[in-house]
Each structure stands twice: as structure tokens, then as C-alpha cells.
């Protein structure tokens, strides 16, 4: 196949990230990357930098909404000196129960993905908006939906089936799992020696963890939505369902409209909880580490809870895998927060996980376990855009 420029679009609740790759004959070269951050604010950030890190665009425009944000990206793509994209890959967090395979985007597919937007309410609404705009603005280019849920298609039924009445199962309520493109990129980077028993902890603003046997996912902490699993930046993670019933009843006292009360509950569990809720300070690990250094007890508790939860999850996955060969940390916290890695692993010696403090202290170190640690512990950055390009190239060839 000749070399093709492939554009990757990756949208979140307040940002659109994008990158352009030249892809062909097994080679993948990034030509540029960029982002519009701060959607919904007067002081957004719009930047593009080339493969050498040189800033081609560096602006602070007002970005009141997603339409202004995507127009910035589309105008830049139409006017820049780089080749026009021949295909576009859209990071798609969740396609619901019916859209399970990476595939070419059609208007009908967008409608289908949109009908399950409640499963990923922070991501899907902006993603489907961008899909429609991309089809409109680049009508001659094939667009592909690349799913985070795809990597989790190998979960066994015992993991996907939730213990609820079957009428809800029939509505698509099940474990889907998220961060799949990140997990897939870790397995990809470990090839050809993918360990048989692998745990990957994707610790970013959203945090999850997966158990992977022979390269295939067998369990993952997030379930129906990215709210479940590990406590993360501003989300609860798993919690006694009775807590949600309690909060909902309290909300209903002042908000009789059920839909409005449910929305308030959603804000509580997705935006006001997690590290932010416990610390009453920030969802950002850097702020929390600073506060801990200054003696802030709530910040200490929030981070303790984060590390404690992850250590417990690692323990259960070691049981599920019946052993462990490798533990990988990835995501903004996993890659950068030395103290979190040390605190998570500090009580896991009995599972064969022994860190080397010196190696762990070196930013960018690949292996951070001790020489004699039965389990290898590694830090690997995710290559999500590259993975999306790979899927697009494969789908173009089909």
C-alpha cells in the first residue's frame, strides 16, 4: 500500500486532540500533533507542533463550545502545508452493545453510537458531533470509528455479565471496559515477548486496570461506564450501590424531577468525587503531592485511597491470572508519579512485586523492579494515536 496521511481525532469533554501520521509499508511517521483545550472557556489553548516539537500554532482563543473548537482544527487542516488526510480515525470510547468492531463511519453508525451516549456521557456527545462534522467537511475521505471497548471483546461472560435483572442486561447493561486503545498499545509495544500473565494499570485522570492473559484481556476494572472501577480524578470508581440510592433519595427531597435528580447524581459521581471529592482540593495528582508535602491531611487520604484501591485490585488480578509475570504502569500518573508507583507496590512483596527505589526514581526508566523481583515492573507510555492509525490502515486494506 502506498504511503497515506492518516488523521487521528481524539476528543474529550473539554478538549480535541489531533495528529497526522504518514502511514505505509509498516512505517508510521507522525507529521504533527495538536490540541484545542479549554472548550467552554474564554481562554482556550490551541496549539500545533511538528515532529521536531516546533510550535506551528500557539494561540489562546476563546472557545465557547465544540463548534468553535472543531472549526479551529478543520481550518488549520485545510490551510496547512502538510498533506491532506486520506483517512480519519476517530477515537470512540463506547459504541454500546451493537457497535463492537472498529469500522467505517456512516451516518447510521453515528446515530447508533449516539443512542448509547449515556454509557460515556463525558466523551460520546462531542465525539459524535465531530464525526458528523468530519463527514460534512471531508466528504470524500473515509472515516473510521476505533473503539476503546474493542480490546475488551475477549472478556469472559463471567466478567461482562452484571448481577442485575435480565431486563437491564437486555438493554445493554454489562461490563464493556475502557482505555482499551491504551491497553492494546501496551501489548503491541511488548511484542514479540508479551508476558503470559500481565497486569496493566492505566493511571491518568481516569484510572483503570486490566488483567491480560497471553495478550488477551480477561478482566478490567471499569464496567458499564468509565465511572466504575478504581477511584480516579473526579469519579468515585466502584462504590456500594446503597450509597447511590442514599444520595439519590437525598437529592429527590429538593429535586422532585427524576431526570434532574439523576443528572445531579451523575455530576456527584463523575465530577465531584474521587481524588477531588476526598481531598476537597484538586483532581490533579501534582497539586495533591504538593499539598501532601505541605502537610494537607485530606490530600494524603485521597492519595492513600487511590494507591490502596489499586494495590487491592492488583492482588485480585494476580489471583485471577494465577500468578504474574509483569506489571506495567501507564497514563499521566503511572508514567510520572514516582511516589504513587512506590506507594502502590510497597505492600506487594508477597505477590513477587519488588521495586528498585533508584530505578523508580529515574524519569523515563523502562524497568523499575529490583533485579531479583520475581515480577518485572515496567513504565510504558501509551501510544493510542499510533494504534488508531494501525487500525485505520488495516481497515483501509480490507
- C-alpha neighbours within 13 Å on the C-beta side of residue 208: 27
Of 284 and 325, CB closest to ligand AMP: 284
Q: Which of residues 39-68 bind ligand AMP (CB under 6 A)?
A: none
CA distance 54 to 314: 40
The verdict on 385 binding ligand AMP (CB under 6 A) reads no
Active site residues: 148
User: What is the x/- site pattern for ligand AMP, positions 208-237, by CB under 6 A?
Assistant: -------------------------x----
Burial of 175 (0-12, 13-18, 19+ CB in 10 A): buried
Q: Which residue is nearest to ligand AMP (CB)?
A: 332
Binding ligand AMP by CB under 6 A: which of 16, 285, 307, 314?
285
What single string gives the DSSP state of each residue in 13-75?
SSEEEEEEEEEETTEEEEEEEEEEE-TTBSS-EEEEEETT--EEEEE---B-SHHHHHHHHHH
Segment contacting ligand AMP by CB under 6 A, of 69-77, 97-105, 153-161, 278-286: 278-286
Query: What minimum distance in Å lies between the beta carbon of 180 and ligand AMP?
Result: 15
CA distance 256 to 268: 17
The verdict on 337 binding ligand AMP (CB under 6 A) reads yes
Binding ligand AMP by CB under 6 A: which of 34, 85, 195, 331?
331
How crowded is residue 50: how many other Cβ atoms within 10 Å of its Cβ? 15
Of 50 and 335, CB closest to ligand AMP: 335
Query: What minimum distance in Å lies between the beta carbon of 10 and ligand AMP?
Result: 12
The verdict on 14 binding ligand AMP (CB under 6 A) reads no
CA distance 16 to 337: 25
Binding footprint of ligand AMP on the chain (CB under 6 A): 204-205, 233, 284-286, 331-333, 336-337
Amino acid at each position: 500500500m502506498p504511503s497515506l496521511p492518516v488523521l487521528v481525532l481524539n476528543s474529550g469533554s473539554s478538549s480535541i486532540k489531533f495528529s497526522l501520521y504518514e502511514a505505509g509499508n509498516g512505517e508510521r511517521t507522525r507529521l504533527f500533533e495538536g490540541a484545542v483545550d479549554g472548550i467552554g472557556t474564554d481562554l482556550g489553548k490551541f496549539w500545533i507542533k511538528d515532529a521536531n516539537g516546533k510550535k506551528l500554532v500557539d494561540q489562546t482563543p476563546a472557545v465557547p463550545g465544540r463548534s468553535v473548537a472543531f472549526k479551529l482544527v478543520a481550518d488549520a487542516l485545510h490551510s496547512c502545508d502538510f498533506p491532506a488526510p486520506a483517512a480519519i480515525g476517530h477515537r470512540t470510547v463506547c459504541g454500546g452493545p451493537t457497535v463492537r468492531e472498529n469500522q467505517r463511519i456512516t451516518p447510521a453508525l453515528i446515530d447508533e453510537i449516539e443512542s448509547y451516549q449515556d454509557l460515556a456521557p463525558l466523551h460520546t456527545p462531542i465525539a459524535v458531533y465531530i464525526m458528523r462534522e468530519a463527514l460534512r467537511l471531508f466528504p470524500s475521505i473515509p472515516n473510521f470509528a476505533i473503539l476503546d471497548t474493542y480490546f475488551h471483546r475477549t472478556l469472559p461472560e463471567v466478567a461482562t455479565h452484571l448481577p442485575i435483572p435480565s431486563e437491564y442486561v437486555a438493554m445493554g447493561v454489562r461490563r464493556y471496559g475502557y482505555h482499551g486503545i491504551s491497553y492494546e498499545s501496551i501489548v503491541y509495544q511488548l511484542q514479540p515477548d508479551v508476558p503470559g500473565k500481565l497486569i496493566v494499570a492505566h493511571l491518568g485522570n481516569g484510572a483503570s486496570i486490566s488483567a491480560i492473559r497471553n495478550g488477551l484481556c480477561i478482566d478490567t476494572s471499569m464496567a458499564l461506564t468509565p465511572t466504575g472501577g478504581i477511584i480516579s480524578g473526579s469519579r468515585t470508581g466502584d462504590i456500594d450501590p446503597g450509597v447511590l440510592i442514599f444520595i439519590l433519595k437525598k437529592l429527590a427531597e429538593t429535586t422532585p424531577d427524576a431526570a434532574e435528580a439523576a443528572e445531579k447524581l451523575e455530576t456527584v459521581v463523575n465530577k465531584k468525587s474521587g481524588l477531588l471529592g476526598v481531598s476537597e482540593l484538586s483532581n490533579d495528582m501534582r497539586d495533591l503531592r504538593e499539598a501532601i508535602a505541605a502537610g494537607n491531611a485530606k490530600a494524603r487520604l485521597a492519595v492513600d485511597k487511590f494507591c490502596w484501591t489499586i494495590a487491592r485490585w492488583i492482588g485480585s488480578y494476580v489471583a485471577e491470572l494465577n500468578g504474574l509475570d509483569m506489571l506495567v504502569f501507564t497514563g499521566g500518573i503511572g508514567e510520572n508519579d514516582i511516589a504513587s508507583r512506590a506507594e502502590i507496590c510497597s505492600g506487594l512483596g508477597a505477590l513477587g512485586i519488588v521495586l528498585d527505589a533508584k530505578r523508580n526514581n529515574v524519569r523515563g526508566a523502562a524497568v523499575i523492579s529490583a533485579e531479583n523481583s520475581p515480577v518485572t515492573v515496567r513504565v510504558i507510555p501509551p501510544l493510542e494515536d499510533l494504534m488508531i492509525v494501525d487500525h485505520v490502515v488495516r481497515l483501509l486494506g480490507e
